[in-house]
Chain A
Amino acid sequence: DTAVSQTPKYLVTQMGNDKSIKCEQNLGHDTMYWYKQDSKKFLKIMFSYNNKELIINETVPNRFSPKSPDKAHLNLHINSLELGDSAVYFCASSQVGADTQYFGPGTRLTVL
């Protein structure tokens, strides 16, 4: 069984559209994260949730909104997509904040 899964794996869309990426973990972890990895492979944390509560909200545009229906799921909704949003988005989970993080396979978002 996949520990951290994301859907879709690839997402190609036009500027101005709204899209969502879903993430699920079956590890029983309390904390989940969204990261953005740019073309230079730099990994930047965007959000963190602990037991459905928002813990970390880095300087991310308001167009990005995370939603955690339960502690096993953390979805990312992006409004009014821009060219600069093109990147690979990774979901991750851990038991606590500073513990080992388990990463999903990533979602490559391309905005045309």
Chain B
Amino acid sequence: AQSVTQPDIHITVSEGASLELRCNYSYGATPYLFWYVQSPGQGLQLLLKYFSGDTLVQGIKGFEAEFKRSQSSFNLRKPSVHWSDAAEYFCAVGAQGDDKIIFGKGTRLHILP
């Protein structure tokens, strides 16, 4: 069955520290992969996406993610977090021809001053 797993429900990092949010997927086809961010009281906003090509994808707000087919992973990284990065982060997966994308359960990022 197709699924997306975000193993960490909550992550806490200090401002200025590096960040990695994990995402693993189970999908039969070559996946399309997404990371979305949801700030408090807001809708979801796309950070970045991978469809094909270079497996290291750059996104907005200084985020990047790397697609590793051998590990079925698409982890999100940022070298130095800012207090404004505190939010809920969702990984999602789909494939060409699908009628929807599947969202993970989200990881809540907390930033310590």
CB-based contact A55/B99 at 8 Å: yes
Contacts of A83 in B (CB 8 A): none
A60 within 8 A of B: no
- Docked Cα-Cα span, A7 to B49, in Å, equals 28
Q: Are B94 and A98 in contact (CB under 8 A)?
A: yes
- Where chain A touches its partner, the secondary structure class is strand
A100 contacts the other chain (CB 8 A): yes
Interface status of B95 (Cβ within 8 A of chain A): yes
A98-B45 contact in complex given A41-B88, A43-B90, C-beta closer than 8 Å: no
Partner of B96, one of A33, A45, A98: A98
Q: Which residues of A contact B105 (CB under 8 A)?
A: 40-42
B97–A41 touching, CB < 8 Å = no
Number of residues of chain B lying within 8 A (CB) of chain A: 25
When chains A and B are docked, how far (Å) is the Cα of A90 from the Cα of B96? 23
Decide if B42 is an interface residue (CB 8 Å cutoff): yes
- Total interface residues on A, using CB and 8 Å? 24
Q: What 1/0 flags go to B72-113 for Cβ under 8 Å of A? A: 000000000000000010100011111111010110100000
Chain B residues in the interface with A (C-beta under 8 A): 32, 34, 36, 38, 41-46, 49, 88, 90, 94-101, 103, 105-106, 108
Binding site for B on A (CB under 8 A): 4, 31, 33, 40-43, 45, 48, 50, 55-56, 90, 92, 97-106
Can you sample 10 A-B contacts with CB below 8 Å? A41-B88, A42-B106, A43-B90, A43-B106, A56-B99, A98-B94, A98-B101, A100-B49, A102-B46, A104-B43
7 A-B pairs closest in CB distance: A98-B94, A97-B99, A103-B43, A98-B98, A103-B44, A43-B103, A105-B43
Besides the known contacts A98-B97, A105-B43, 8 further A-B residue pairs in the complex with CB atoms under 8 A apart: A31-B99, A40-B105, A43-B90, A56-B100, A97-B100, A103-B36, A103-B43, A106-B42
